[in-house]
Amino acid sequence: MTTRLSEPSRLAASVQASLEGVEKTVTLADNRAASLLVGNYDQNIAHLERRLSIVVHVNGNTLLLQGARDNVDHGARVIESLYQTVRRGKSVGPGDVDGAIEETALQRALFPDKPAAEPKADAPYVGFGQIVTRKRGATKARNAAQDAYLRELARHELVFAQGPAGTGKTWLAVGHAVQLLEAGHVERLILSRPAVEAGEKIGFLPGDMKEKVDPYLRPIYDALYDFMEGRLVERALQTGVIEVAPLAFMRGRTLSNALILLDEAQNASSMQMKMFLTRLGEGSRMIITGDPTQVDLPPMQKSGFAEAIALLQGVEGIGQVKFGHQHVVRHDLVRRIVQAYEEAAGQPDSRHG
């Protein structure tokens, strides 16, 4: 474990924290788990300090927290939560720190007077929802928005997920799709995306249909390889268990016993969106993801994604989840970039719905 040196600014913050707040010591019994929790170059602890405005001194398996009482107590709960995670054999990073911050805050709000019980190292996860696949095992939601997303996916046959890049919309959708496929709830996966980026026309791209569409669907492929063995992905593509199709080529089809995922749906026109929604067949499910702030359609053309979300609000059997910048899990800098763009555009701080 690496112990960071106290820089002048950090030392000043520590002195200020000790003067204005409280100190709390957390001792972790498992030295290896403590090292994994802290992270390389104490990156997880540094992230926790920034998010909660506290100072944490690391000395072996002992952590001294300084700052405002509520923040210090919150930080201690986050550390205990992360500690139990690494003891179950899971690695943690800054994104997991964000998830633990939100999860412990939610638990505190629901049970303010009830002390958290010490979970066993091998106890099943009972916090936010999770998806389980053979390759990755259990992958849990990192924040309340992702938790709501997984619950909507389990509850509804059609789910819209809107929000900025880095919130896990596509990745979790693919994980959920693979889980349904492995469990036999669906017989195949249909992956689709509008091919309108950079003003390219799909007919001008070289190769067969799969080669033409591949560049647009690379993020979905990356997620597939995260949740499935590479050889299984290739075999599924060859046999048609996993099918890749541009949105424009979905017309006229009825898709039964399938999980259909439409990614980057903000680039679908109103006509295309209506066409896509009416492809839903018996025993099928649909997931539609997009970011309304990154529409690449011509200036005068309405996004079918935003229109469908408004038209289908409250329709039975349809779930909707909205992510905001505070739910970005890709990198903390991405979260701040998205927040800056939202503020510049005069948008309100989005919360999941």
Task: State pLDDT tens for residues 200-209.
Answer: 455 555 566 5
**CATH number for the domain harbouring residue 331:** 3.40.50.300
Let me know if residue 2 belongs to a domain: no
Residues 13 and 97 in one domain: yes
The residue range of the domain holding 183 is: 130-344
Identity of residue 124: P
For residue 199, what pLDDT is reported?
45
E-strand spans in the chain?
A: 22-27, 55-59, 62-67, 130-133, 137-140, 158-162, 188-193, 242-246, 258-262, 285-290, 318-322
- Give me the DSSP letters along 36-59: HHH-GGGHHHHHHHHHHT-EEEEE
Q: Rounded to 5 degrees, what angle do the CA atoms 275, 281, 283 make?
A: 145
Axis crossing angle, helix 144-155 with helix 94-110, rounded to the nearest 10 = 80
Let me know if residue 320 belongs to a domain: yes
Strands 258-262 and 188-193: parallel
pLDDT band at 15 (very low <50, low <70, confident <90, very high): very low
- Residue pair 145/319 in contact by the 8 Å Cβ criterion: no
Please determine, for residue 19, whether its predicted confidence score (pLDDT) is greater than 70: no
Neighbours of 48 (CB within 10 A): 26
More confident residue, 202 or 189: 189
pTM greater than 0.85 (yes/no): no
Residues 157 and 24 in one domain: no
More confident residue, 323 or 245: 323
**CATH number for the domain harbouring residue 58:** 3.30.1370.10
For residue 157, what pLDDT is reported?
92
Over residues 54-79, the mean pLDDT reads: 90
Mean pLDDT over all residues of the chain? 79
Over residues 95-108, the mean pLDDT reads: 76
Residues 334-352 pLDDT 10s: 767 877 877 777 655 444 4
Let me know if residue 18 belongs to a domain: yes
For residue 209, what pLDDT is reported?
58
User: 110, 141, 176: which is the final residue of a domain?
Assistant: 110
Residues 137 and 104 in one domain: no
Number of structural domains, the chain? 2
- Residue pair 219/170 in contact by the 8 Å Cβ criterion: yes
Residues 218-276 pLDDT 10s: 778 888 988 988 888 899 988 889 988 888 778 878 788 999 999 999 999 999 999 99
Residues 208 and 94 in one domain: no
Q: Which helix (H) or strand (E) holds 293?
A: none
Rounded Cα gap, residues 262 and 273, in angstroms: 10
Out of 4-8, 62-66, 344-348, which region has the weakest mean confidence (pLDDT)? 4-8
> How is the beta sheet containing 258-262 ordered, strand by strand?
242-246, 188-193, 258-262, 285-290, 158-162, 318-322
Residues 236 and 162 in one domain: yes
More confident residue, 334 or 87: 87
Let me know if residue 119 belongs to a domain: no
Let me know if residue 349 belongs to a domain: no
Residues 176 and 296 in one domain: yes
pLDDT band at 210 (very low <50, low <70, confident <90, very high): low
Residues 135 and 104 in one domain: no
pLDDT band at 298 (very low <50, low <70, confident <90, very high): confident
List, in sequence order, every residue forming a beta bridge with 67; answer none if it has no partner: 22
Residues 105 and 135 in one domain: no
Residues 166 and 209 in one domain: yes
For residue 137, what pLDDT is reported?
76
